[in-house]
Structure formats: structure tokens, C-alpha cells
Amino acid sequence: MSITSRVTILLNLNEGVADMLYKSLGPDNVKIPSDMDIKMNVTNDVLCIMVSSSNNPSRVTHTVDEILSHAQMILDVTQT
């Protein structure tokens, strides 16, 4: 039996910030394990990040934590 873990993050941001985060986080999500999938898109200043993995729920948890940490760091640096 295969178990797929999936988390969707919706970040409601100010004008232009969602696109900036999308462009900043994208290059970091290129080489990922074969059992993992990360998709991102921006619609109306909302950044949507979807992370899923089959048979490895902890990988999803750690990846979501890392993405949110990177997003916060990017926002902290660009908002000062």
C-alpha cells in the first residue's frame, strides 16, 4: 500500500511580493528526490506551494519547514 502525503501552503501577500517569492524560491526546488513533487504558482498576489511525497511523510514536513524558513528570510531581507 502506498501513502501519499500532501501539504498546500497559501501565502496571501502584497502586490508583487508573491511573484518575487516565487522567483526566489523556484531555483531551490529543482533537484528533488524522485518520490517528491513541489509545485508553485502565483494567482492574484497569492503564492500557492504544493508539496507531496509518496511513502515519506517526514520528508514533506521537513520540506515545508525549509520552504517557510526560506520565505521568511527572503521577506525579512527585502522588507528592511
Q: Which cell is 79 given? A: 522588507
What is the pLDDT at residue 80? Answer: 60
Q: Using alpha carbons only, how large is the chain's radius of gyration in Å?
A: 13
pLDDT for 7 equals: 96
With pLDDT > 70 as the criterion, what percentage of the chain qualifies?
98
> Has residue 49 got a pLDDT over 70?
yes
Q: What is the mean pLDDT of residues 26-30?
A: 77
Mean pLDDT of 33-62: 93
**Whole-number pLDDT of residue 14:** 87
Domains and CATH numbers, the chain: 4-78 (3.30.310.50)
Q: Are 6 and 61 in contact (CB under 8 A)?
A: no
Q: What is the pTM of this model?
A: 0.87
Return the residue matching grid coordinates 520565505. 71
